[in-house]
Chain A
Amino acid sequence: MNAPQESRNDPGLSRERTWLAWSRTLLVAAGVAVLTARLAATERDLLNVALALAGWTALFTVAFRRYRSRRAGPGPALPLFALFTVGYAALGTLLVLNR
């Protein structure tokens, strides 16, 4: 890649790469939210449709706050994101089992 001299000081690159990883993750999460909402919609379960879509909005807020914080440490963003993933898994399990 670059010369060592150049790769040793990358004031913004790491941060930018991390934000790109966050946005990829948000995209995948959007797919999961839509699939969950669709599963709930086939059961006419409007509450869970709203919950699935609101969950993605919350994830976006978490990711965006992480990006804006300008700190090396991610704060509570990581466990929150994992918690929401578990939440989608649990909601999906409930919806599948209650069909």
Chain B
Amino acid sequence: MAKLALAWPRLDKIAALPEQPVTHRRSDKLGRIVGRNLAMQFDTKSDPVVALENLDISIKPGEFLALLGPSGCGKSTLLNMIAGILVPSTGTLTIDGRPVTEPNPGCGIVFQQHSLFPWMSVLENVAFGPRMLGRSDPIGTARTFLGLVGLEKHETAWPASLSGGMQQRVGIARALANYPPVLLMDEPFGALDAQTRSIMQEELLKLWGQFSTTVVFVTHDIDEAIFLADRVVVMKTLPGGIKREVHIDLPRPRDPALIKSDRFNVYRSEIFELIREETLKVFRRGA
């Protein structure tokens, strides 16, 4: 356990939690993300491509933040930086004061699709994290979390035999099973049909209400961002960065009917205009 604690300094705190699966609200105030002066350049054969420039961001513990923007705005790049998958060209990025250098169990990740391990049963997929951290009862923990997403009956199934929505629920259960302070979601519902997507959004809000982990959610769907988030960060293009932040002052728990309300509409129009400007910028550059 000491070795693991070194690998991820906050793990000592996570690991000190009871051996029973933890499914309650965080009270440890972990999950603060701070990025200063972040930039990301990709070297290509012709000239370097600037994906992000001059980006400052600060995310509070337990906040639900949506990164919204057209393709090419660097929202996935920013998410991958927070995840430790990409290392910023310049600037500093810390989670709870510690620099992020590699993917680590303090940050759960839910990908767009196809990230479950197809050679493991649904149950083994969810048990993977607790196993890697040396928890005492990974299978029991996995059952608890599968129960939370309503898939306890499918524990012996292979991931490939599940529908897209079910696969993403397993993905969420797998990411939550380590009780990470931060949950990163990269267009997790992008490949789902509209009905499934709407139900998944509600389910996600319920889970988030139960854990109140910090969530960073990448999407290009305006309604999805407003419905889910406390704060929507609208990204700009050419070069990528933050255009504006919109605080979503809608009551929680949120009901799907909210989407038809006037206040929702005001946010929608405001954000629609912002994104349209950015999309046009790219469009004109291309033409």
Partners in one complex: no
